[in-house]
Amino acid sequence: MKTDCPHCAKRGISYFSKWWSGSTTPALCNQCNNFSYVNNGTRHYSFPTVINIIIAAFGIIGFILTQKYFLLWLLPLGYLISQIYLVLYSPMLKSTKKQIDNNKRVGNFILLFLFSGLLIYTIIDFVT
């Protein structure tokens, strides 16, 4: 049960690795030892995600209207259906150790920026 590697085009990446892969946590091909991942944009802003939201909305609205707890199973079911679709059909992008380190640096910078902004506003709020 493996999927094609974008580097060597052999079936070297497990579907489980593909499921959890991201730009900072890529999957490793066991044929050529290169890294690849599913783009976050593909993962979060695609057709299966819309289906997931619709199924989840049916579950939540149905539960609110009927108070039947089994309708809440539609939430993980919708998530699972969208994830299976994404793992089977979403393309994988090539990555290198250098790109992974750079993506982590960008992520750290964004977190630092957000936290320092929050800290500044907290200090301003405290002082005024």
Site residues, Zn ion (CB under 5 A): 5, 7-8, 12, 29, 31-32
Least distance to Zn ion from the beta carbon of 51, Å?
Answer: 30
Least distance to Zn ion from the beta carbon of 55, Å?
Answer: 34
Torsion angle of C-alpha atoms 84, 86, 89, 92, degrees rounded to 10: -130
Of 31 and 83, nearer to Zn ion (C-beta) is 31
Least distance to Zn ion from the beta carbon of 4, Å?
Answer: 8
Nearest to residue 17, comparing CAs of 46, 62, 5, 120? 5
What SS3 state is found at 13? strand
Of 31 and 39, nearer to Zn ion (C-beta) is 31
Of 75 and 100, nearer to Zn ion (C-beta) is 100
Of 5 and 38, nearer to Zn ion (C-beta) is 5
Residue type, 19: W
Least distance to Zn ion from the beta carbon of 85, Å?
Answer: 23
Give the list of residues 6+ apart from residue 74 with CB closer than 8 angstroms, or none.
55, 56, 58, 59, 62
